[in-house]
């Protein structure tokens, strides 16, 4: 990656090198996804015991724990709306810093929470409030992180560069699972449930400091600055622009629905392959939680490496073909995933998660470039955030709850695979219904945006 800076031809202003922009986005998204996924893993392995010990049975406790997990997804669209609006008005960089601070404070505070045994029902209430803050912060994070890269990078390599912030998800998962797996090995179950689980939450403070330092080094998106200059010129002429949120809802409804539909298979499959697996192998197969944690740990490392490869492939053959490979792949592989887990063989379980996440990466790699290309600059933060985060409520947010409910009702993993396959069909239809976007110019003034 180039380390030299360049000058913007329109202004002569020095531009941050793409390597620094990518690093800033990747570090920030890794920290935020670490915080978010850490909660997800803990919701499956720890929180049922610490915050919901009075449930009627283990699966009921897990359902209650996953309900607080889902609340975070409910607040993600709200965060997307607020951060998207101000990100389109004030800039990508400022809002990214705010979201990182919010997420870090909430995660650190979870590590300090008293248990149900100490304060009763107040414990899960406080947990839920902090989860809401996490969801709100993450709702604003994703759009800004991918846009600041998409709007800096060259059009020819947009899919590759924009896929790096996406790699922050498996990187965060890798760190979260790695720490929990490490602690589970070197601590007894009693010590881990008593205090050991708190360590990864408290360590998030260190990661946030690193993320802030890196993000403060980058420049604002040049495309955003150009769009702002056009808006200032219109304001000087007495023209009042429509609020970005209202403008994107009025002029880009099809694009929002396309993004939501495309996310169904990607979002649901990821949480089945990385979060629900812990519940499935412990409650259904009677195996230890380290079985699932270690399998996901290995697969996340491979996932991190392959996401940019899928992004680069989308630069060559288009966003749609690569995305469809992933959507069809997870729909079919879900059945093999369950079958391989049922063997209770750790090597086969690793294969199950690796292949599942490889197909997921085919969607996740080109996704940021694909969604960025759906919207115009002055509403792009709002558009990608709304489309991405609204889908999270009905997709990833509900996935653990629906999967555990199916498991509890049918006592089998096959209905979970059917659920993933149905979501895959929705994504295939959504992607096929929209034209290829790879060759779009992000600087072009589009729907509802006057010059």
Burial of 336: CB neighbours in 10 Å, binned 0-12, 13-18, 19+: middle
- Among 94, 114, 100, 92, which Cα is nearest to 372's? 92
Q: Does residue 204 belong to any structural domain of this protein?
A: yes
pLDDT for 230 equals 63
Residues 67, 146, 148, 41, CA torsion sign = positive
Q: Does residue 230 belong to any structural domain of this protein?
A: no
What region, left, alpha or beta, does residue 12 occupy, with left being phi > 0 and alpha being psi -120 to 50 degrees?
left
Angle between helices 158-166 and 18-45 (to 10 degrees): 40
pLDDT for 2 equals 39
Q: Does residue 4 belong to any structural domain of this protein?
A: no
Token digits of residue 435:
């034209």
Q: Which domain covers residue 203, as residue numbers?
A: 15-220+240-432
Q: Does residue 446 belong to any structural domain of this protein?
A: no
Q: Does residue 439 belong to any structural domain of this protein?
A: no
pLDDT for 371 equals 92
pLDDT for 129 equals 92
pLDDT for 428 equals 97
Q: Does residue 246 belong to any structural domain of this protein?
A: yes
pLDDT for 330 equals 97
Measure the CA–CA gap between 174 and 294, rounded to whole angstroms.
10
pLDDT for 4 equals 39
Residue 119 is classified by DSSP as: H
- How far, CA to CA in Å, does 144 sit from each of 6, 61, 72, 152, 340? 22, 35, 19, 12, 38
Measure the CA–CA gap between 399 and 264, rounded to whole angstroms.
10
- Among 273, 280, 297, 278, which Cα is nearest to 289's? 278
Measure the CA–CA gap between 4 and 75, rounded to whole angstroms.
39
Please state, as a whole number, how many other Cβ atoms lie within 10 Å of the Cβ of residue 185. Answer: 11
Tens of pLDDT along the chain (451 residues) come to 434 344 444 444 444 577 777 887 788 788 777 877 788 778 877 888 888 887 667 778 878 887 887 888 788 888 887 877 777 777 667 777 888 888 888 889 999 999 888 988 898 899 999 989 988 887 777 777 777 777 776 778 888 988 888 888 888 878 887 787 787 777 777 787 778 888 888 888 887 787 777 777 777 666 666 666 666 665 666 555 566 777 888 888 999 999 999 999 999 999 899 888 888 888 888 888 788 888 988 998 999 999 999 999 999 999 999 999 999 999 999 999 999 999 999 999 999 999 999 999 999 999 989 998 898 877 887 888 888 888 888 888 788 889 988 988 888 889 999 999 999 999 999 999 999 988 887 776 556 554 4
Residue 434 is classified by DSSP as: S
Q: Does residue 31 belong to any structural domain of this protein?
A: yes
φ/ψ of 14, rounded to 5, equals -70, 130
Looking at the structure of the chain, the number of domains it has is 1
Residues 242, 244, 246, 248, CA torsion sign = positive
Q: Does residue 56 belong to any structural domain of this protein?
A: yes
Q: What CATH number is given to the structural domain containing 134? A: 1.20.1250.20
Residue 54 is classified by DSSP as: T
């Amino acid at each position: 990656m180039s380390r030299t800076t360049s000058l913007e031809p329109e202004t002569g202003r020095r531009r941050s090198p793409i390597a620094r922009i990518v690093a800033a986005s990747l570090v920030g998204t890794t920290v935020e996804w670490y915080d978010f996924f850490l909660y997800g893993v803990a919701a499956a392995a720890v929180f049922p015991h610490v915050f919901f010990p009075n449930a009627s049975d283990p699966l009921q406790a897990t359902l209650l724990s996953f309900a607080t997990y889902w609340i975070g997804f409910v607040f993600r669209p709200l965060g997307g709306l607020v951060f998207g609006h101000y990100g389109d008005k004030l800039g990508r960089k400022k809002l990214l810093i705010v979201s990182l601070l919010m997420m870090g404070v909430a995660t650190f505070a979870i590590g300090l929470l008293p248990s149900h045994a100490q304060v009763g029902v107040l414990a899960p209430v406080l947990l839920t409030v902090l989860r809401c803050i996490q969801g709100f912060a993450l709702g604003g994070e994703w759009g800004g992180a991918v846009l600041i890269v998409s709007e800096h990078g060259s059009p020819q390599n947009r899919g590759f560069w924009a896929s790096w912030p996406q790699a922050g998800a498996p990187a965060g998962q890798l760190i979260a699972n790695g720490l929990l797996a490490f602690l589970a090995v070197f601590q007894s179950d009693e010590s881990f449930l008593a205090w050991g689980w708190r360590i990864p939450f408290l360590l998030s403070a260190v990661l946030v400091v690193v993320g802030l330092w890196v993000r403060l080094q980058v420049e604002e998106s040049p495309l955003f600055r150009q769009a702002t200059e056009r808006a200032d010129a219109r304001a000087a002429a007495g023209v009042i622009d429509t609020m970005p949120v209202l403008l994107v809802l009025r002029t880009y409804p099809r694009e929002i629905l396309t993004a939501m539909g495309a996310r169904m298979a990607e979002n649901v499959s990821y949480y089945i392959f990385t979060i629900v697996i812990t519940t499935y192998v412990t409650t259904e197969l009677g195996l230890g939680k380290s079985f699932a944690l270690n399998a996901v740990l290995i697969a996340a490392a491979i996932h991190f490496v392959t996401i940019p490869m899928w992004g680069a492939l989308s630069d060559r053959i288009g966003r749609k073909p690569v995305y469809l490979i992933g959507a069809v792949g997870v729909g079919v592989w879900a059945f093999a995933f369950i079958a391989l887990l049922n063997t209770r063989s750790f090597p086969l379980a690793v294969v199950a998660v690796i292949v599942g996440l490889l197909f997921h990466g085919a969607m996740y790699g080109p996704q940021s470039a694909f969604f960025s290309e759906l919207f115009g600059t002055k509403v792009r933060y709002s558009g990608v955030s709304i489309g991405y985060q609204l889908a999270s409520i009905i997709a990833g947010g509900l996935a653990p709850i629906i999967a555990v409910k199916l498991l509890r009702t049918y006592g089998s993993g096959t209905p979970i695979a059917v659920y993933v396959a149905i979501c895959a069909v929705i994504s295939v239809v959504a992607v096929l219904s929209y034209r290829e976007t790879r060759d779009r110019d992000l600087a072009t003034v589009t729907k509802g945006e006057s010059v």
